[in-house]
Chains A and B, each alone.
Chain A
Amino acid sequence: MILSVRDLKVSFRTDDGIVRAIDGVSFDLAEGEILGVVGESGSGKTVSLLAVMGLITDPNAVIEGSIRYKGRELVGLPASELRLLRGNEIAMIFQDPMTALTPVYTIGWQIAEQIRAHQRISKAAAMKRVEELLAEVNFPNPHEAMSRYPHQLSGGMRQRAVIAMALSCSPALLVADEPTTALDVTVQAGILDLVRKLRATHNSAVVFITHDMGVVSELADRVMVMYAGRIVERGSRQDLFADSLHPYTRALLGSIPPLTGDKPHRLPAIPGSPPSLLRLPKGCAFAPRCPVRYEPCDLGKPALGDGNHAAACFRTAQP
């Protein structure tokens, strides 16, 4: 296992009380695997991965549990040691390529900066490497692109530059936080294609966060669905989409309008909206919106079963 997270809890102290952003998340990631993490805003999908990256800088955050990268515990690791891993072995791609790059430096400079932060090589050698990387992410004219500033590139090209930067030190683990959400579908298609290709050439493990079920089903080997800070279902892509167990997963899949075939007169919508993390129900967080809820759901939180395909639901028979 390249990454192994056990009972991760992240909470934030706020004026209104404690916000439990992540409440007991456990998962494993094998080498070269793509794990899709699906959830809506507030589901904790981004926070859990920021915790893995050690990028939660809020002094009011409390992180508990265990995050092991190649067997090494990251929770509690001194910042200086964590920094040596970040960008070098664990890299991240962010959601909005428009704001993810520093506006006053060329993209060549910014990528070279990362390389030189981790490797002792000359400026010229770093620049040569940058050019190779930009070519690898399909920049039509890599040499010229190096001297471009972020604002001179389109959103899709900027995201390619960010990806090139993430790959610059050949990371073993790549965390992608909604990398295509801000992009148009035709551009997204190109980026997804690229991620697939890069996984094959670099054999990096990828955690891909998204709210788009379609994107996950195109890319992921395994999928994890999150709701209100907990994992509600986990399984292989095949299991999860063809044979979903959790009512939330089912409802979410059902509420997406189909692109082919008959269209329903009304969409099977999920009533209500995701709960506030400040006032989570005592029982299952999805219970207030759940179509199959019964008494036990309000009493305690259902645990996520073991096994490859599991759901955290009292109703669902654990396979």
Chain B
Amino acid sequence: MIYPILRRLAQMLFVMFGISVIVFLIFFATPGADPAARIAGRNASPEVLEAVRHSFGFDRPLYVQYALMMQKIFVTGDLTSFVNRGWKVVPAVLDSIPVTLSLVFGAAVLWVVFSILIGVVAAATRDSWLDKLLMALGLLGISMPVYWVGEVMNLVSQSRYHDTWLFSWVPPLGYVNFSDDPKGWFLALVIPWITLSILYIGIYGRVLRAAIIESMQEDYIRTARAKGLSETRILLRHALRTSLIAFVTLFGLDFGALVGGSALLTEVVFGLQGIGKLTYDALQSLDLPMIMATVMYASMFVVIANAVVDFVYILLDPRVKTS
């Protein structure tokens, strides 16, 4: 068991190395643009420009530049933003991680629980009015843009009905540290969680329903019926269990992408200083060190999520282990 894990870790490192090289090349080796000028920002003085050039090694070969960049991100951690002078990039990224993780993790719990519920109920009551209603709601959830849902939520809970008994508990926008105030953390995130999870509940509920209905056609379901099992047991222990394999793949990819910054719209709408918001701001001001760091961070999460999916796969599908 140890050897495959080590091999998988080595693969992850290799993939991250590849991503870092590609991102580095895109931003620092694009011909026709002086990376030093971009890092230093507009209207930089020649002295600053020279300092940048020297500190990033732009006067030296590409591989040295790459090595210096990696050193600044991973070893010394002293990469500084040149747009917001003196702002250390690495601590900024580290600070925003708990925000994004809190947001995505909570939303993931919601969407897993509710999509399984919806998928199973819809599959069990296939073609009934309940199934049709659930699927229509799912489609509605998919088609509502998350920033719109977020704004509507804010409108309702922050201003229009804030003073009614229904929404008076909603704290002002922004993030509260879990360690400072667990209850405040929870309350601040409830509405962002719901907002972010609506889309995924729709997608996952529909995907799961289709997967369950497909596996209900399999021969082993007929065997399960021939064994005299109850329909509930057949649905949960046989059909749902085998359908979860597709579900987990999808989940791993989405979770990785969200933690890696795709929750950006939700973060912006609810004023959460997460990784998505950070990347978004960095892109707006072309803050290359910040972009480099956030992209490295995002790729790390996507790769880790993929590896976790692979391991869960082994747990869910014994066929993977031997082949």
Contact = CB atoms under 8 A, between A and B. Distances in A.
User: Within 8 Å by CB, do A and B touch in the complex?
Assistant: yes
A85 B241 contact: no
A94 interface: yes
Interface residues of B, number: 23
Interface stretch (A8-16, A111-119, A204-212, A301-309): A111-119
A91 B223 CA distance: 10
A257 B242 CA distance: 44
Interface in B203-242: 218-220, 222-231, 233, 237-238, 241-242
A94 B223 contact: yes
Contacts of A101: 220, 223
Nearest to A53: B226
A154 interface: no
A102 B237 CA distance: 10
A100 B219 contact: yes
A220 to B, nearest CB: 22
Contacts of A53: 226
B322 interface: yes
A99 B218 contact: yes
Given A104-B241, A149-B319, A152-B322, A118 B223 contact: no
Contact of B227 (A57, A99, A117): A117
Contacts of B224: 102
B180 to A, nearest CB: 44
A165 interface: yes
Contacts of A48: none
Contacts of B242: 102-104
Interface string A41-70: 000000000000101010000000000000
Contacts of B233: 117
Interface in A117-131: 117-118
Nearest to A79: B231
Nearest to A96: B219
A96 B223 CA distance: 11
A87 B318 contact: no
Which among B219, B228, B318, B322 has the highest number of chain A CB atoms within 10 Å?
A: B228
A149 B223 CA distance: 16
Given A100-B219, A101-B220, A104-B242, A114 B317 contact: no
Given A99-B220, A103-B220, A151-B322, A86 B238 contact: no
B286 interface: no
B316 interface: yes
A71 to B, nearest CB: 20
Interface in B15-62: none
A22 interface: no
B124 to A, nearest CB: 13
Nearest to B233: A117
Contacts of B225: 55, 57, 86
A222 B220 CA distance: 30
Contacts of B228: 83-88, 114, 117-118
A87 B227 contact: yes
A151 B319 contact: yes
B317 A103 contact: yes
A204 B144 CA distance: 60
A167 interface: no
Interface string A148-173: 01011000000000100100000000
Nearest to B323: A151
A297 interface: no
A224 to B, nearest CB: 21
Closest 8 A/B residue pairs (Cβ): A87-B228, A99-B219, A86-B228, A87-B227, A114-B227, A92-B226, A149-B318, A102-B220
16 contacts: A85-B228, A86-B226, A86-B228, A87-B229, A88-B228, A102-B241, A103-B242, A104-B241, A113-B227, A114-B228, A117-B228, A117-B229, A117-B233, A149-B318, A152-B322, A165-B227
Interface of A: 53, 55, 57, 79, 83-88, 91-92, 94, 96, 99-104, 113-114, 117-118, 149, 151-152, 162, 165
Interface of B: 218-220, 222-231, 233, 237-238, 241-242, 316-319, 322
